[in-house]
Chain A
């Protein structure tokens, strides 16, 4: 793998009042890498992504993107939030356009939007409003919105929580393929270990609060991965044992 560092996190610390959530987290993400982060629920995974993007001001620490301070107006980052985030007043198509419009990136905008809609299988629903869609469709709208902008760094916070299992596998394969093809760097958060082993190039295991890195595991199983293969099961069990669930 090309080892160019895309994101460098150094001693990232975040407190809410006297609640210490992130305790000196340091690691790097390489260009084109699919990094999965797993950890017990409530350990601070969302807080971590929000601090990384400065939506929450980090208490201390340094975050570099391509060697510079992260700057959302300059760097091409997309973030798929854990929370439902489609905009009710826009149609599916307008929602998918949203990121490109904010970026004033009007070149080939319709083609990019069409491709993203196609990717998540919502072409036929382009004219509908969010209130007319199911939860899983809404989640796909948000995924399409992120992909339409062709981000350099894609942050995903449990994006498949709402999807049914078959759709999930199909979409996951598609997303991994696309990220590899476009050399997109991904930080993918989940508490589903199987999902992490299935998707990741590396898996970062977090401790309970205050959160730090327990271990970073290389996941070099060949794609497409077989969730029943003994190596797969072995890795999954190893990570499960690492996590203190409460």
Chain B
């Protein structure tokens, strides 16, 4: 797209964002169509964010503490999911024996939604970091395996043949041909994983936890503090966006040849 028309759309999107908040403000504080106990106004939300920055009440932790708790758990689970999931997908796709022996188990596990694991994890591991990290792990792990598997399988036969005729072994061909082919798919997997693990984390924190953004939302509900709920949602959205943007820029650095 041309620079100029891109700018035009950026302006339009900023305007619509402003309109969104304006309507929200009108519906709440100005005309009071929706009572503030159900939906706080944007101004109130900003005030709550400011207040929660340093105040522990009423849910026991400050906003930065909640954010940190959530990031720690999701970081741990996501990294483990990626570090185990990506190689597993690659190995299953590249070596037929691994495929035959591991795929059936995996195909069964992947049909269980990660959220359905939460109760058993709480029973087995309690409500600590390990239980939540395990949920995050599962929800990150599965898309990582699926996408890296698909990516390796997408390798063109003729590329494999090129490496083979030059005398490349199976393993060398994997690193020189199949993994470069799979990289865009692996990144798609990481992005999907990030979204689903972030979602699963919030769910896990709402069901059983003592800190984290999901926990804060849950406390907001129990204490009828709608502003806490909305603050939690907004912060979750912002952090999710930042993390995806980070992966996007990493992808641009690592994946070559996509001329844009």
Closest to B164 in A: A72
Chain A residue numbers with a CB within 8 Å of B158 are: 81, 83-85
Q: Does B148 touch A at the CB level, under 8 Å?
A: no
Within 8 Å by CB of B256, from A83, A85, A101, A129, lies: A129
Q: In angstroms, how far is the closest chain A Cβ from the Cβ of B156? A: 8
Residues of chain B with a CB closer than 8 A to A83's CB? 158
Pick 27 A–B contacts, CB within 8 A, sort by A. Answer: A53-B165, A72-B164, A72-B166, A73-B167, A73-B168, A73-B169, A74-B167, A77-B165, A78-B166, A79-B161, A81-B161, A84-B158, A85-B162, A87-B162, A87-B257, A88-B257, A89-B180, A90-B256, A98-B166, A102-B168, A102-B176, A103-B166, A130-B257, A131-B258, A131-B259, A132-B259, A145-B162
User: What per-residue 1/0 map shows which CB atoms of B138-180 lie under 8 Å from chain A?
Assistant: 0000000000000000001011011111111100100011001
Q: Taking the nearest CB of chain B, how far is it from the CB of A216, in angstroms?
A: 25
Q: Is the C-beta of A99 less than 8 angstroms from some C-beta in chain B?
A: yes
How many Å lie between the Cα of A145 and that of B166 in the bound state? 10
Closest to B181 in A: A89
Is B255 an interface residue when CB atoms closer than 8 A count as contact? yes
Number of interface residues of B (CB under 8 A): 23
Q: Is the CB of A89 within 8 A of B256?
A: yes
Q: Are B257 and A131 in contact (CB under 8 A)?
A: yes
CA distance A149 to B165 in the complex (A): 12
Residues from chain B with Cβ under 8 Å of A19 in the complex:
none
Q: How far is the CA of A132 from the CA of B161 in the complex (A)?
A: 24
Q: Which of A55, A101, A145 is in CB contact (< 8 Å) with B161?
A: A55
Instruction: For the complex, count residues of A whose C-beta is within 8 A of B.
Output: 30
**Cα distance A103–B168 when bound, in Å?**
7
Query: How far, in Å, is A102 (CB) from chain B's closest CB?
Result: 4
Let me know if B159 and A87 touch, CB within 8 A.
yes
A102-B166, A103-B167 known; A129+B259 contact, CB < 8 A: yes
- Nearest chain A CB to B198 CB, angstrom units: 29
> B257: which A residues are within 8 A, CB to CB?
87-91, 129-131
Task: Using A73-B167, A77-B165 as known contacts, say yes or no to A101 and B180 having CB atoms under 8 A apart.
Answer: no
User: What's the Cα separation between A76 and B165 when bound, in Å?
Assistant: 9
* Extra 13 A-B pairs, beta carbons < 8 Å, given A81-B161, A85-B159, A130-B257: A73-B167, A75-B167, A77-B165, A79-B162, A83-B158, A85-B156, A87-B162, A89-B183, A98-B162, A98-B163, A131-B259, A132-B259, A145-B162
5 nearest CB pairs, A to B: A102-B166, A89-B257, A79-B165, A102-B168, A73-B167
Kindly provide the distance from the CB of A232 to the nearest chain B CB, expressed in whole angstroms.
33
Binding site for B on A (CB under 8 A): 53, 55, 72-79, 81, 83-85, 87-91, 98-99, 101-103, 129-132, 145, 149
Which A residue's beta carbon lies closest to that of B184?
A: A89
Complex Cα gap A78–B161 (Å): 11
Contacts of B177 in A (CB 8 A): 87
Q: B176: which A residues are within 8 A, CB to CB?
A: 98, 101-102
Indicate which residue in A55, A75, A84, A130 contacts B164 across the interface (CB closer than 8 Å): A55
Q: Residues of B contacting A74 with CB < 8 Å?
A: 167
Q: How many Å lie between the Cα of A88 and that of B181 in the bound state? A: 9
Q: Establish whether residues A87 and B180, one from each chain, have CB atoms under 8 Å apart when the complex forms.
A: yes
Give Cα distance in the complex from A85 to B158, angstroms.
Answer: 6
Q: How far is the CB of A137 from chain B (nearest CB, A)?
A: 14
Query: Which B residues, 206 to 245, have Cβ-Cβ distances below 8 Å to chain A?
Result: none
Question: Within residues 21 to 51 of chain B, which ones have a CB less than 8 A from any CB in chain A?
Answer: none
**A149/B166 contact (C-beta < 8 A), A87-B177, A102-B172 known:** yes
